[in-house]
Structures are given as structure tokens and as C-alpha cells.
Structure 1
Amino acid sequence: MSTPVDPAVTALARRWRVEVNTGTAETPTWSLCPGITALTPAAEPNIEDSSDYDSDGWAGNTKTGQSWELGMTINRKINDQAKTYNAVHEALRLASFAYGSASLVHVRYFDRNGLPEAYEGYAIVTWAPSGGEYTALDQVEVTLTGDGPLLPIENPNATPPAGGS
């Protein structure tokens, strides 16, 4: 008798959803960042050598810090009738020119299918238009550089278990 094959499916890169808080810290309004064509999350630890004579020649390492970053390529979205850009894109662009607290955005990103990966934090925005040929789309490279912790959160799209709350 053969063993059943695990029905696992490979996750797709486009599973991520990014939202920016366009409200306040006290009353968040989570708004979709549309038009993402590429997303690269990173949370790199800072590791220092903590080797000593007591380790019998084995190297020791200690995590002493952590940083995070979210890189995105977005297609600029416009309302060609009202002559306006998407409000979330504009919030990101304007934050990239600001200083102090106005330079920070409150962001969260999570698996749009409800899987458990979900994160939230504050970040400084870098906004770099891609330019291109006359046939190119208006794309922007956006980098969100974490300012403080990137916190794992409950996925807003998670479905509660049946019979649970």
C-alpha cells in the first residue's frame, strides 16, 4: 500500500498585502497600498562574536540587535479625471520628503490568504521613481526602513476557528 502524498502547495510571492495607517495611532485606518509588483521583506539580526576560552574552541555568537526593511516596487495609481494620485501612494511620497514624526509611516503587511505571517511597525520612507522608456509604466521603488521593532501580529485576514471567538 502506498503512502498518501502531502497535498502541500507552494506559496506564491503575491500572497502579501501591505496596508498603511492613514488614520491616527489611537484610531488606525488601515488602507491598502495598491499596485505592488514586487515585495522584499527583510529582518536582519546583528550578530557579534562572543567566543571565549571556556567554549573549548567553539565560536560563540550573540544577537545584539535587529533591523527590518520592506522593499516594494509599485505601479503608480491615478484618477485621471480628478487629476489625483492614490492616497496611500501620496502618503508614502510625502513622508519621504518630511522630517521628524512626519517622516514615519505606520505599516503592516500580512498574508492575504489568512496564513499566520503578519507584521506591523513604523518606518521611514525612501521614494525613488524608476523612470524608463516611453512605453514604460510609472513605477516607483519604495523602501520602508524600520524605526523600532517589527512586531508579529495576528493576521487581520485570519479566519477564527469554527466554534471559537
Structure 2
Amino acid sequence: MTTFADIAPTQGDTGNTFEWIWDITADPFIEDPTYLNVPDITGLTPAAPPKLQDSTTYANKGQTSQSKTGEDFTMQVQVKGVKDETGEFQPELVALIEAADGIASDNIIGYRYYHATSKALAYAGTAAVNWSRVNTGNDGIEFFQFDLTGQGDRRKIPNPALETSNDGGTGGGSGD
């Protein structure tokens, strides 16, 4: 039995909120898509609540029983608008807006998000994407909010940040 005196803080380094990586592809339905890293993100908030169905029978003796039949994946993330010398925003931001506007893949993108150091935290799938502006004041920094709605195919993947490439280095998830 665990007593109060047995409880102590976990030893090790504290994780940081900025240790997440997000990549997208405008070609999610090809076998080996090229991913584009989206570096200027904040507020990456994936959620995958289970889709539950009542599976109660008399054998449950009056207790509720629910079975998971899927999940309802959503993600919100903000991207800071960074312009080049021509005044155009960064390519990954333009790709997201074009996808949301239906210019690329009928509003569907491929995504993968993963932790920079944790092997267990890596996912990929496809999602419909929509966007809106975050800061609309007279002196704010331009941020765009993207809302992703999963297409039912989120899955665990090997973590691209921790995969070893053929040259002995590690893959960083930015274009592999």
C-alpha cells in the first residue's frame, strides 16, 4: 500500500510545452507524402475523445457499459504570420490557408504531430482544415488559428524526430 510518506516528486527533467513538432502535407493520399514542418506554432491542442456507444446488456446487472467505436479527433493550433522580403507569408502558412480555402485537396490536409523527445507521442492522419485570424487589433502580431477536424484515421506512428536516417543522423520531421 502506498502511504503519503512514500510519495515523492518524480526525478528527471521537466517537459516543456514547446517540445512538440507539427508537419503537414497537401498530398495526404499518396503512399509516401512529403511533409512540410510548421515551425511558428503556439497553442497546439490535439484532442481525441473516444466515440462511445451503449453496449449494456442484462449481464451488466444494471450497470452501464459503453464500448469505444472510434474517436472524434480535433486540433487547434495558431501559426504566427512571418512575411518574406516580397510581403508573402511563409510557405507552410500559405499551404494551410489554401487547403482551408479548398484550393488544395478539397479542404483536407495530412498532418503529423509528435514530441521532440518522447518515442510514445507521435500521431498522423488526415483532417479538414479551417482558419481564422486571432489578433485583429490595431497593433497586434498576426496569428492565424487553424481548426482541424479528423477524418477518422488518426494513428500512432514511429516518432519522426527520433528516427535514424541512412546517414547516421536523426530525422527532424521537416520535409522527410
Bin the TM-score by the shorter chain: 0.7 to 0.9
Give TM-score, length-normalised by structure 2: 0.79
Partner of 1:87: 91
Partner of 1:34: 39
Q: 1:140/1:120 Cα in 2 relative to 1: closer, same or farther (>3 Å)?
A: same
Distance in 1 between the 2:156 and 2:66 partners?
Answer: 24
Which segments of 5 or more consecutive residues in structure 1 lack a partner in the other structure? 161-165
TM-superposed deviation, 1:77: 1.6
Partner SS for 2:48: strand
Partner of 2:141: 137
TM-superposed deviation, 1:131: 3.3
Which segments of 5 or more consecutive residues in structure 2 lack a partner in the other structure? 1-7, 165-176
- Does 1:75 find its partner at 2:69? no
Distance in 1 between the 2:104 and 2:162 partners?
Answer: 34
Q: 1:132/1:120 Cα in 2 relative to 1: closer, same or farther (>3 Å)?
A: same
Task: Please give the root-mean-square deviation of Cα atoms over the aligned residues, in Å.
Answer: 2.3
Letter in 1 for 2:17: A
Q: 1:57/1:19 Cα in 2 relative to 1: closer, same or farther (>3 Å)?
A: same
Stretches of 4+ moved more than 4 A in 1?
A: none
Q: 1:130/1:65 Cα in 2 relative to 1: closer, same or farther (>3 Å)?
A: same
Partner of 2:110: 106
Q: Which moved more, 1:47-56 or 1:23-32?
A: 23-32
- Does 1:52 find its partner at 2:57? yes
Partner of 2:130: 126
Larger strand percent: 1
Percent of aligned pairs sharing the same letter: 26
Q: Which moved more, 1:136-145 or 1:17-26?
A: 17-26
Encode CA deviations 1:57-91: one digit per residue, 9 max, x unaligned.
Answer: 22211112212111101111210x12211111111
Distance in 1 between the 2:86 and 2:32 partners?
Answer: 28
* Number of equivalenced pairs: 156
Distance in 1 between the 2:57 and 2:27 partners?
Answer: 50
TM-superposed deviation, 1:8: 2.8
Partner of 1:148: 152
Partner of 1:163: none
Give TM-score, length-normalised by structure 1: 0.83
